[in-house]
Structure 1
Amino acid sequence: MLTAVTGINWGDEGKGRVIDLLAGPADVVVRYQGGNNAGHTVVTEQGKFILNLIPSGILHSGVTCVLGDGMVVDLEHLENEIQKLWEKDVAVSPKNLKISTRATISMPWHRIQDELEEDRLARSRAAFGSTRRGIAYAYSDKYRKKTLRMGDLLRLDEENMKARLKMMLDAKNMELAGCYHQEPMSFPALYKWCEEQAEKFKAYICDTGEFLDESLKKGKKVILEAQLGAMRDIDYGIFPYTSSSSTIAAYAPIGAGIPAHVPDHIVGVLKAYSTCVGAGPFVAETAMPQSWLDMLRRLGGEYGAATGRPRRVGPVDIPASCYGLKCQNADKIALTKLDVLSAFTEIPVITGYRYGDQVTGRFDPGCDLEKYEPVVETVPGWQQSISKCRTWEELPDNAKAYIALLEKLLDHEIQFISVGAKRDEYLLKGSWI
């Protein structure tokens, strides 16, 4: 069985904990896009884990994790991530972590370019809110055919590979010197860096597409893990305030390396309120007073898993969520962090947008969203802890009413509800996977 887990909104929806749940009975978990510019947070008996590149399934023994074709991989960050897992006695080896030969390498200059350009834009207050981890530049060079893929590390001694490396370095030195007045990088230093990375990761690199095909033929359960959400998709998100890859479930088999397959299930993950990291229009943060937003951020611990930046927060945004749900074509919805709303006497819900004299329930990422005002309705809160609830019947009536309202507005049943950060703090309603 093939299941994709994707984000309905801006990312940070809590996909990590949903994947962690699904990974328990699974055999393989695959990251299919993105790099180390976002993170999945999972809390287990061993503590809190923040995973930027390695799939959340790594916390389950018996699960094989794959970095798929569609990813960009910062190898120095990956080494550090593996080291941190080892320090917490989590096994990571070529037996349970495989890296696609087709995955793109985030080269040392990609971070440098990202930082230099974001600094330049910041001086004119035009920055994109980049994580400064070089993701956009790695993807840009992928499509310009001026970077390496993981499989290239296995044939560094070939003359045509050395020639390609020299061509890339010459082009990059011209960019960095001409645009940013940087000192040129040397070929011997670059080649040595590549040799070091090849030595560290050669045992992990393989044809993961063939591995996944064989796994599915044998009836194994495979989870496809997205990074970020629909609003950050390069084509369907709020351009240009997007990521640089496709977060959409339809791309999942392609980015995983199994383009001939179609997911049996798509799980869309939706937070019980809205959050956003980075620049760009975010209507939800204008819906409530700053004191309310500050309280929500504090109670939810809303700080970026990759960067530590405070997340922008607001009430759940129904027009945006309906759009994200349509993009992802999810047949299952997981609602996360419902427990965070337990402290509020009233809970706001954005049901539409006002633009001049017009009110609309339609979300269009190409519109001038900065000029939209949220239309807000409020419902009574439940004001009691729900972290011990394990069945639908145990939830307070007002919590049930809030979920029922979301289901009505989204025109979709919610099957998974998280009531706390710990692994067992959730309940199921309706038919799950």
Structure 2
Amino acid sequence: MIDPILASAILVGVFVALLALGTPIGLCIVLSSTCTIMLVLPFNIAMFTTAQKMFASLDSFSLLAVPFFVLSGVIMNNGGIATRLVNFAKLFTGRLPGSLSYTNIMGNMLFGAVSGSAIAASTSIGGVLVPMSAREGYNRSFASAVNIASAPTGMLIPPTTAFILYALASGGASIAALFAAGLVAGVLWGVGCMLITYYMVKRYGYTNFFNLRKGMALQVTKDAIPSLLLIVIIVGGIVAGIFTAIEASAIAVVYTAYLTLSLYKTLTLHDLPKLLLQTFVMSAVIMFLLATSSAMSFSMAITGIPETLSGMLLGISKSKWVILLVVTIFLLVIGCFMDIGPAILIFTPILLPIMQQIGVDPVHFGVLLVYNLAIGTITPPVGSGLYVGASVGQVKVEEVLKPLMPFYAGIIAVLLLITYVPDVILFLPRMLGVM
């Protein structure tokens, strides 16, 4: 039997070396996995087994949900939904001091939910509100920080592909339960950002108010409700058992196409080839990562890495809470260097058995995993959300980091709350009877 420590060293070493050379992450995963499998099996059998595991991992009917949800998100991103949701958010935040900051947070929560993308929310909502905030006298770095900090809420508020990937990688966690628990976590993230904004607005002395013209509230609500209904239809339908996640993804495509092509008329049939091409590319990347991560899972299983890691973690402490803290710190670090999709696919098979061994519910861990990795999208050195948000705000990254610090503190505080008081997020799926 090969030494698991040696196998871990080769797996991680080859992966990091290839990544440092600029190799695409999917190739890093499959090549490092193959090298690790070759410690146990001959070269020809290792190559055959790797290919077999990759193809077998894609032979799943559940995977149909991925391209459909991706397509619905692409349609929403290109369909002019952002302005309607911003106007709707103003109804609730327009009378608050520093209202544009609150509007940005709420707009990101709403648009991120319907699009499922933190980058899309940061670009679409921030692209409207950050320049507007600057014109109203807001510090541009602060306005950009508000946009960056709140953009990842859409990765938690359903529908989101992150929880679908986790459900697949975990081998059967309830998507309905993940969506319900993720909804609570995403809202808490947004509320945390609003509380920090309240403190920051008082500190900066922003007192300007933002009001819609008299009589516009009804029209703004009418414009926004069809978009917001997507969340209700998808989440409500899955939770109520009216349709499965796969059927919900197809319904999401039909509904978003109806909104943008027929109701709002912001897209035409001539736009569809471009949208389908974007969907094809994004879905292909996800599928390839899913296939390669299955090869990595097999390489770890055949060399005994998960058992060794489990023994090491359990050797640190027998306390569930200490192990949760160690895993949380580990995931925060991983999120700083790796995109959320590959990280979910790679670390779910490793960490979930350990979490179950210490009594953590798979739905609870799924939300913690996505929450931790979502933080990584707005943290240096690799956080794509941080760089995109700074670009949208037309500020340098180093300029936005200082006003971001209080938001990091608020987001981490929410993370500790949902980590150590799981009922905060699990009460909703339990109340709905989906777990």
- Is this a same-fold pair by TM over 0.5? no
TM (norm. structure 1) is 0.29
TM (norm. structure 2) is 0.29
**Bigger proportion of residues as helix:** 2
Q: Which has the higher contact order (CA 8 A, sep 6+)?
A: 2
